[in-house]
Amino acid sequence: MHLFTRDWPIKLRTITLSGLTVLSYTFDILFYSTLFTLSAALGTIIPPRFHEFSLFDISLRYTYRTEAESAVPIPLLVFISGGIPIIQFIFFAIFQPRLSISRRLWDLMSGFMCLLGAMATQLLATCILKNICGLPRPDMIDRCEPMFQNIPVTQLSNVAICTQPNWNLVQEGFRSFPSGHSSAVFCGMTITSLNIASRLQTFDSRNNSFKVFLTILPIFLAMFVACTRVSDNRHFLRDVIGGSLIGTYVGSLFYWQYFPSIYNLSNNGRAYPPRRIGVHPFFNNIGGFWKIPDRLKGAFEQRVLNGPEGEAHLEKLQNGYLNQTVAPTTIQDNITLVNRLNEVLPEDIAEY
């Protein structure tokens, strides 16, 4: 049994879009935007599990530095981890004369969705881990301003001995692992590095070391930002490593959801075509994709419906059930065809 929702065309002057496809990507944007907002609230409003600590632990007695004194304050972090990836997506969308306008706009849209989804996901993972672990930062005791009493060396203390009037400052002192700066910057810079490698065709075996340098430059920038968290007394090395791994993993995963492998040189960094809703019952529930008009050959379009076998299969269904031999050439015709096929085909069409 398969559920079917009729598709409909959306016309914007000379452009026709699939209503279900637009709705699908709109949901993605709203979902990740909401997830990002809730994750940010989770990391600031909900208190962490306060880990016990020793007042005699010298590793927790580093000096507290305000956000303004840190090497990479929040506004600069936002620019590096989010602004730079957006700028490079826009740059490659503009300076690609061999690509059609529709292809460049779609690649830009895919880059934005990739970055938004990755940032929301890494922020959620980081904030949850920060609150669950509740580990103290290197400057925690300076933040806490504890009541020094006759506490034995062997006895652990808890947050109740803090006299700091700014409770938010104390709470932040127990959000050491993992490093949010490291997670965010490695997420953004991993996406940037992968996109640069794909766009410049870095791995074309032509030994161009300058392209290699441009490819790894974002990773060096991420390493610099992450290491400042140690020098700013905000994190231990373990926190930085943990955050860096989270950011790298999430950034890579989301990039590969929207873009093919960087070793697919003929693709030249172009994103996967837009997902198509309503055709998956015809292809063992794998799905299908709309084509993007493209002047440059070699686009990565062999994804089920866009391949020759998929189109031949859809034509066979059309001839067998609708007695229609004229191949659909427009999005409007495609939507009409799929709607009619979904209405007349039997529930189990695997044999077809």
The end-to-end CA distance of the chain, in Å, is 15
Confidence tier at 118 by pLDDT (50, 70, 90): very high
Burial of 131 (0-12, 13-18, 19+ CB in 10 A): middle
How high is the pLDDT of residue 302? 56
Task: In whole angstroms, give the CA distance from residue 272 to residue 292.
Answer: 9
Confidence tier at 50 by pLDDT (50, 70, 90): very high
Whether 230 and 244 have beta carbons less than 8 Å apart is answered as no
In this predicted structure, the answer to whether residue 352 has a pLDDT above a threshold of 50 is no
CA angle 225, 231, 237 (to 5 degrees): 80
How high is the pLDDT of residue 247? 97
Task: In whole angstroms, give the CA distance from residue 327 to residue 249.
Answer: 43
- Number of neighbours of residue 334 by Cβ within 10 angstroms: 24
Task: In whole angstroms, give the CA distance from residue 263 to residue 91.
Answer: 21
149 vs 170: which has the higher pLDDT? 170
pLDDT (mean) for 253-276: 90
In this predicted structure, the answer to whether residue 316 has a pLDDT above a threshold of 50 is yes
Taking all residues of the chain, what is their mean pLDDT, rounded to a whole number? 88
Tokens of residue 3, six digits? 């559920």
Residue from 264, 269, 125 nearest 184 by CA: 125
Task: In whole angstroms, give the CA distance from residue 142 to residue 70.
Answer: 16
Tokens of residue 245, six digits? 């791994």
How high is the pLDDT of residue 33? 96
Reported as type and span, the H/E element at residue 11 is strand 9-12
In this predicted structure, the answer to whether residue 142 has a pLDDT above a threshold of 70 is yes
Task: In whole angstroms, give the CA distance from residue 109 to residue 29.
Answer: 11
Tokens of residue 325, six digits? 């031999």
69-114 residue pLDDT tens: 999 999 999 999 999 999 999 999 998 878 888 889 999 999 999 9
Confidence tier at 301 by pLDDT (50, 70, 90): low
217 vs 146: which has the higher pLDDT? 217
- Number of neighbours of residue 308 by Cβ within 10 angstroms: 8
Q: What is the DSSP string of 60-106?
A: G-PPP--GGGSSS-HHHHHIIIIIHHHHHHHHHHHS-TTS-HHHHHH
Task: In whole angstroms, give the CA distance from residue 162 to residue 66.
Answer: 18
pTM, entire model: 0.90
Place of tokens 């997670």: 183
Confidence tier at 133 by pLDDT (50, 70, 90): very high
334 vs 192: which has the higher pLDDT? 192
Residue from 176, 144, 173 nearest 160 by CA: 144
Q: Domain locations in the chain?
A: 18-267, 275-344
How high is the pLDDT of residue 350? 43
Distance of CA 11 to the CA centre of its chain: 29
In this predicted structure, the answer to whether residue 351 has a pLDDT above a threshold of 60 is no
Confidence tier at 347 by pLDDT (50, 70, 90): low
In this predicted structure, the answer to whether residue 40 has a pLDDT above a threshold of 60 is yes
How high is the pLDDT of residue 307? 66
- Number of neighbours of residue 106 by Cβ within 10 angstroms: 22
Residue from 58, 239, 228 nearest 142 by CA: 58
Residue from 146, 151, 149 nearest 60 by CA: 146
Residue from 175, 104, 91 nearest 136 by CA: 175
In this predicted structure, the answer to whether residue 304 has a pLDDT above a threshold of 70 is no
Q: Which long-range contacts (CB under 8 A, 24 or more apart) does 340-346 make?
A: 341/282, 341/314, 341/317, 342/4, 342/6, 342/278, 342/281, 343/4, 345/281, 345/282, 345/317, 345/321
Distance of CA 228 to the CA centre of its chain: 24
